[in-house]
Amino acid sequence: MKARKIGSSLRRVVPALPRVDGVILLTQDSSKVKRISSHAIRGVVFHTLSDWKTAVGFDAPRVLSSQQVLPPCPSFTSSKAAAKDGSLRRLAGYVNLEIQNPKEERFHRVYKGSHPSRRDRVVLHLYDMSAKR
C-alpha cells in the first residue's frame, strides 16, 4: 500500500511515471528468509541483504531525470518539524507531554504525559541518535 501511495504522489508531479512496485529488504540471513527471497507474495518481492542491489533497482534504468527528482521531495516530508527545543506536546497517541529534563539535553529526553482515552500516566524516554553529544 505504501508503494502505491508513493506512486500516486509522484504521478502528480511526473504524470508519465510507471508503476511503483513494493519491495521488502530482509535483513536476517537464515534458511527461512532464503526460501522466500526473490519471490513475490501478494505483489511484493522479498530480497535478502546479499541481493540489495536488485531490491533498490541499482542496475535498473533510471526512470526520473535529475531535474525530476527534487520537485516531489516536499510532498514526502513531514508537515510538522521536529521539536529540537523539546517542546513536544503529542506523540504516538500520548498527549499533554511535559519535558522533565533540561532542554539542552537533546540525546535523551524524558517526558511525562497521559493517554487520552485510558487516562494512563506514562513516562516516555526518547533518544535522538542524530543529536550531537
Q: How confident is the model at residue 61 (pLDDT cuts 50, 70, 90)?
A: confident
Coil, strand, or helix at residue 39?
coil
Would you say 48 and 54 are in contact if contact means Cβ atoms under 8 Å apart? Answer: no
pLDDT score at 29: 60
pLDDT score at 12: 81
Would you say 112 and 98 are in contact if contact means Cβ atoms under 8 Å apart? Answer: yes
pLDDT score at 123: 92
C-alpha cell at 97: 507531554
Q: What dihedral angle (degrees, nearest 10) is formed by the CA atoms of 35, 40, 41, 45? A: 90
Beta-sheet strands, E only, within the chain? 23-26, 40-41, 44-48, 95-99, 108-114, 121-127
Provide the whole-model pTM: 0.44
Q: Which residues of 58-93 are buried (b: 16+ CB within 10 A; e: fewer)?
A: eeeeeeeeeeeeeebeeeeeeeeeeeeebebeeeee
pLDDT score at 112: 92
For residues 30-56, average pLDDT = 75
d(CA 94, CA 83): 16
65-124 tens-digit pLDDT = 777 776 666 666 655 555 667 778 888 888 999 999 887 888 888 999 998 888 889 998
119: left (phi over 0), alpha (psi -120 to 50) or beta: left
d(CA 83, CA 79): 12
